[in-house]
Amino acid sequence: MKHFEANFDGLVGPTHNYAGLSVGNVASLNNAKDTSNPKSAAKQGLQKMKALHDMGLVQGVLAPHERPDLDALRRLGFSGSDTSVLEQAAKQAPQVLRAVYSASSMWTANAATVSPSADTADKKVHFTPANLTNKFHRSLEPETSGRILKAMFNNEQHFAHHQHLPDNDHFGDEGAANHTRLCGEYDQAGVELFVYGRHAFDSSKPAPVKYPARHTYEACEAVSRLHQLDESGVVYMQQNPDVIDQGVFHNDVISVGNQNVLFYHEQAFLNTAEKFKEIQSKFAKKSDKEFHFIKVATDQVSVEQAVKTYLFNTQLVDIGNGHMAIIAPMECKENPSVSAYLDNLITQNTPIKQVNYFDVKQSMRNGGGPACLRLRVALNEQELAATNQNVLMSEQLFSTLNTWVDKHYRDELSESDLRDPMLVIETRAALDELTQILNLGSVYPFQR
């Protein structure tokens, strides 16, 4: 049977803006209140999706959420018409208005954790939306993410959807950004690597001191239980608290894995040697492929450079014959030492043989690289056939979505635009049309 790793990229929403909402995410804070370019942001994302589709990969689209989240504003006490809710929030609580306007659902690596059917006891693909409790603007996402995922993977025979974990920092869950699946082939049982930043119920364990650890050990365990994973195919690993304090707010800022490769910075984890032994021995029981741990040492690339260029927020994709391409942001090419590192990497004896650079600057300026923009779902042929076909990239969908963006998106958005009631109306018109293009049904609160 054929099998695939499908990448579902977040379509950048019409309200993409820079609001400086993410403490611990250096790019978000540095670019706070700059003018954003929603139209070009959406087009940069679509270009990447189309390029991966053209490489022969299965590529899909994950719809953005409606912003502003007026329901959240009403829950917080603003009342009256939509226009009046906006006006009051702009006057009384501009920070809250910025937060409910965030287009952060574009980073679909945080939409959910996904376990492929080869790993789960009931042989279904399991989805748990991430609760994203650590940041108010992101905690608004799980309900709608769950509804959109159900509309994309709408077949109980193949897909199991769970509710997001309890909305509390003890179970802080940031989804696939801290989850890596290692395997021989996509349809063979693999090892799911869950990475967390701290223990919620044990304060004697190490934790960062400057920036928040968004994801807990307890959340990792809960997701692994929900997904019916067997202990023989799970490894829990703690992120090095020092790198969180240097701006590594998700593990996908400092490591990336695919199949039999884990590409990582030497400072990424705690107890690295012991944990890698566990990965190695669990992997060896699942696959006879050779496993490659590809270490980047600090004197090759510093943590600071990794955070700036997003060397590890790259995608490792299968290009056939056991070879992989690394999908990197243009920032890696523009940095002489990182591009020299990548030029050399592809000549070494590892599966990574090619590097492709993409301009995703609009997303990078909020701390989201190529890997943040995609949610990976390993599927076999039947599961792919059971997936909503309208969300899969094609020549036709690429052209339809570009036309849709041209019709509905603004070129620029600055802070003052957020109080414009017309933006609410424009966004709803855009999303209403999008749900028809992608055949999602009524996933947005304004449609229900």
Ligand X SMILES: NCCC[C@H](NC(=O)CCC(=O)O)C(=O)O
Q: Which residues contact ligand X by CB under 6 A? A: 18-22, 25, 28, 102, 104, 107, 109-110, 138, 177, 249-250, 366-368, 372
Tell me which of 164, 372, 383, 408 is the catalytic residue: 372
Nearer to ligand X, 95 or 447 (CB): 95
Establish whether 419 is an annotated binding residue: no
Report in angstroms how near the CB of residue 131 gets to ligand X at its nearest: 13
Residue with tokens 């969300």: 391
Q: How far is CA 30 from CA 20, 23, 25, 79, in A?
A: 7, 10, 9, 33
**Residue 161: active-site member:** no
Establish whether 110 is an annotated binding residue: yes
Helix/strand/coil for 159: strand
**Residue 174: active-site member:** yes
CB 113 within 8 A of CB 175: yes
Report in angstroms how near the CB of residue 369 gets to ligand X at its nearest: 8
Nearer to ligand X, 292 or 361 (CB): 361
- Alpha helices (H) in 183-262, listed in sequence order: 217-226, 241-244
Establish whether 139 is an annotated binding residue: no
Establish whether 26 is an annotated binding residue: yes
Establish whether 261 is an annotated binding residue: no
Nearer to ligand X, 107 or 398 (CB): 107
Nearer to ligand X, 117 or 366 (CB): 366
Report in angstroms how near the CB of residue 368 gets to ligand X at its nearest: 4
The torsion angle over the Cα atoms of residues 297, 301, 306 and 309, rounded to 10 degrees, is -150
- Residue 67: name the closest of 96, 32, 25, 108 by CA: 96
Report in angstroms how near the CB of residue 191 gets to ligand X at its nearest: 23
Establish whether 79 is an annotated binding residue: no
Lookup: tokens for 29: 């804070």
Report in angstroms how near the CB of residue 330 gets to ligand X at its nearest: 17
Tell me which of 126, 158, 250, 408 is the catalytic residue: 250
Helix/strand/coil for 191: strand
Establish whether 20 is an annotated binding residue: yes
Report in angstroms how near the CB of residue 109 gets to ligand X at its nearest: 5
Tell me which of 5, 174, 218, 415 is the catalytic residue: 174
Beta 352-358 vs 374-380: how paired, if at all? Answer: unpaired
Residue with tokens 């947005």: 444
Output helix, strand, coil percentages for the chain, rounded to the nearest 5: 40, 20, 40
Report in angstroms how near the CB of residue 141 gets to ligand X at its nearest: 10
Q: How far is CA 307 from CA 25, 75, 185, 245, 288, in A?
A: 9, 36, 30, 12, 34
Establish whether 23 is an annotated binding residue: yes
Lookup: tokens for 416: 């003052």
Establish whether 416 is an annotated binding residue: no
Separation CA 331–CA 140 (nearest Å): 30
Q: Letter for the amino acid at 321?
A: N
Report in angstroms how near the CB of residue 349 gets to ligand X at its nearest: 31
Nearer to ligand X, 99 or 229 (CB): 99
**Residue 250: active-site member:** yes
State the burial class of residue 431 (Cβ atoms within 10 Å of its Cβ: 0-12, 13-18, 19+). buried
- Residue 113: name the closest of 145, 65, 151, 156 by CA: 145
Q: How far is CA 26 from CA 109, 121, 178, 181, 253, in A?
A: 18, 40, 18, 27, 12
Q: Could you report how far apart the first and last alpha carbons of the chain are, in Å?
A: 40
143: left (phi over 0), alpha (psi -120 to 50) or beta: alpha
CB 137 within 8 A of CB 105: no
Nearer to ligand X, 21 or 440 (CB): 21
Nearer to ligand X, 358 or 404 (CB): 358
Lookup: tokens for 446: 């304004």
Nearer to ligand X, 106 or 189 (CB): 106
Lookup: tokens for 94: 């501009």
Establish whether 145 is an annotated binding residue: no
Annotated binding-site members: 19-28, 110, 137-138, 214, 252, 366
Annotated binding-site members for substrate: 19-28, 110, 137-138, 214, 252, 366
Catalytically active residues are 174, 250, 372
